[in-house]
Structure 1
């Protein structure tokens, strides 16, 4: 069965987006307690490219599958988790890249480089890092993992914020009842 990416964000209502998010069935990684641990010999580069033993993983379906098994523990270590083993994975910056953003009703919706859709809000907050000259925005995705907003997505978010009065209210934006600063 061929992979069908989600439609363009700007064409969807919040209800349609919520339905697409609910349809995504992720493995129950939180309930697994594997006894065996090791090293995956994998790395996620700052640009979102996944590598195994130094070579890029070119099959997008493999990246999406691995992304569904990813978690970050309290110590900041990233893991690929299966019911039988957990393997470390090196992450240079963030596990995901946010590549698109849209306003849908009272929510901000982000598409990730893995085609996941995430609705920002209390369960998926935005976090401003860096400094005023080189700000970086991160979106909590799941299991301790974040997505860094790429430059064009940050610009989309800034346009939305400006249209909604960010100059008068400071550089912040609201989604699903939560307010987030856009600058550190």
Structure 2
């Protein structure tokens, strides 16, 4: 399995190296549940969503854009641009490797290049797990994936602190 498979393609377009002019807001939005919208209407074609996802970029200014070699337009993101929908586990303990598949079929192995982080959600204080997919773009793990992570949670070996986390790619990822 490749470390990143972007939208079913062999490799992601080099959006990080493109420097097109900013062309404004055209009404693109990604909802919290992963649905894409154009001017308030849902984009129902999965192939089109995957194409758009492959040219998505989050810049240092914190804004997310659809980027081509000739233009850059805003995309409103309610939470994260992708959803982590499937978790594959191989090995166990320190030798365990976790691989996440997103709703647009990107696949990443949770490792130092694709870290897992947990953020307290408001107002209940529950945890929301995110995985870095590429660039500055993250996937919010679905409840099902979060449940799998919780089932895999363990204390760090030799510690009685009560703090739990999961192992992947030789690193222990603390659950907050």
Which range, TM-score by smaller chain?
A: 0.7 to 0.9
Per the alignment, residue 97 of structure 2 pairs with 107
Tell me the distance in 2 between the aligned counterparts of 1:85 and 1:95. 20
**Does the alignment pair 1:65 with 2:51?**
yes
SS of residue in 1 equivalent to 2:147: helix
Taking structure 1 as reference, are residues 19 and 174 closer, same or farther at Cα in structure 2, changes over 3 Å only?
A: closer
Contact 2:5 2:12 in 1 (8 A): no
> RMSD in angstroms over aligned alpha carbons?
2.4
Q: TM-score, normalised by structure 1?
A: 0.81
Within the alignment, does 1:18 sit opposite 2:11 as a pair?
Answer: no
Select the residue among 86, 107, 114 that pairs with 1:117: 107
* Corresponding position of 1:9: none
Higher helix fraction (1 or 2): 1
How far apart, in 2, do the equivalents of 1:19 and 1:121 lie?
A: 10
In the aligned structure 2, how far is the partner of 1:179 from the partner of 1:61?
A: 36
Deviation of the 1:28 alpha carbon: 0.8
Q: Secondary structure at the match of 1:18?
A: coil
Query: Which runs of 5 or more residues in structure 2 are unaligned?
Result: none
Moved runs in structure 1, 4+ residues, more than 6 A?
none
- Equivalent position to 1:130, from 120, 134, 150: 120
Q: Which runs of 5+ in 1 are unaligned?
A: 1-16
Paired residues for 1:72-91 under 5 Å? 72-91=58-77
Match of 1:177 in 2: 170
Alignment length, in residue pairs? 166
> Normalising by the residue count of structure 2, what TM-score does the alignment of the two structures yield?
0.85
Distance 1:122 1:20 in 2: 13
